[in-house]
Amino acid sequence: MSLNTVDKPFRKTGDPVTLTSESPLHPRRKSRRIMVGPVPVGGGAPISVQSMTNTLTANVPATLQQIAELTAAGCDIVRVAVPSQDDADALPEIVRKSPIPVIADIHFQSKYVFQAIDAGCAAVRVNPGNIRKFDQVGPDICKAATDAGISLRIGVNAGSLDKDLYAKYGGPTPEALVASALKEAHMFEDVGFHDFKISVKHHDVITMVQTYRLLASKGDWPLHLGVTEAGPAWQGTIKSCLAFGALLAEGIGDTIRVSLSAPPVEEVKVGCKLLEYMGLRPRKFDIISCPSCGRAQVDVIQLATAVTEGLKDITAPIRVAVMGCIVNGPGEAREADLGVASGNGKGQIFIKGKVIKTVPEDQIVETLLDIANDIAANMEANGEVPAGATGPVVIPIQHPNRAA
Ligand code: SF4
Which residue ranges make up each domain of the chain? 28-278, 286-382
Going by CA atoms, what residue is nearest to atom 2 of ligand 1? 325
How much distance in Å is there from the Cα of 326 to the middle of ligand 1? 8
Q: Is 290 annotated as a binding residue?
A: yes
Give the C-alpha separation, 222 to 141, whole Å.
Answer: 20
Alpha carbon of 137 to those of 30, 113, 141, 179: distances in Å?
A: 31, 10, 6, 22
**Atom 6 of ligand 1, residue of closest alpha carbon:** 328
The atom of ligand 1 lying closest to the CA of 290 is 4
Q: How far is the CA of 304 from the centre of ligand 1 (A)?
A: 13
What spacing in Å lies between the alpha carbon of 293 and ligand 1's midpoint? 6
Within 118-229, strands assigned E span 123-131, 151-157, 196-201, 224-226
- Using only the alpha carbons of the chain, give its radius of gyration: 23
Which atom of ligand 1 lies at the shortest distance from residue 326's CA?
2
pLDDT in tens, the chain (404 residues): 343 343 434 444 444 444 456 777 888 999 999 999 999 999 989 999 999 999 999 999 999 999 999 999 999 999 999 999 999 999 999 999 999 999 999 987 889 999 999 999 999 999 877 766 777 888 899 999 999 999 999 988 888 888 899 999 999 999 999 999 999 999 899 888 999 999 999 999 999 999 999 999 999 999 999 998 889 999 999 999 999 999 999 999 999 999 999 999 999 999 999 999 998 988 888 898 999 899 888 899 999 999 999 998 888 999 999 999 887 766 777 778 999 998 888 999 999 888 899 999 999 999 999 999 999 999 989 888 766 544 433 333 333 343 33
Is 142 among the annotated ligand-binding positions?
no
Give the binding-site residues of ligand 1, using a 6 Å CB cut-off: 290-293, 295-296, 323-325, 327-328
361 is in an annotated binding site: no
Region 28-278: CATH code = 3.20.20.20
| Residues 6 or more apart in contact with residue 308 via CB below 8 angstroms | 287
**Degrees, nearest 5: CA angle 162-168-172:** 55
Sheet of 286-289, strand order: 286-289, 319-323, 338-343, 346-351, 354-360
Q: What is the pLDDT of residue 108?
A: 76
- Ligand 1: which residue has its CA nearest to atom 5? 292
Superfamily (CATH H level) for 286-382? Sulfite Reductase Hemoprotein, domain 1 (3.30.413.10)
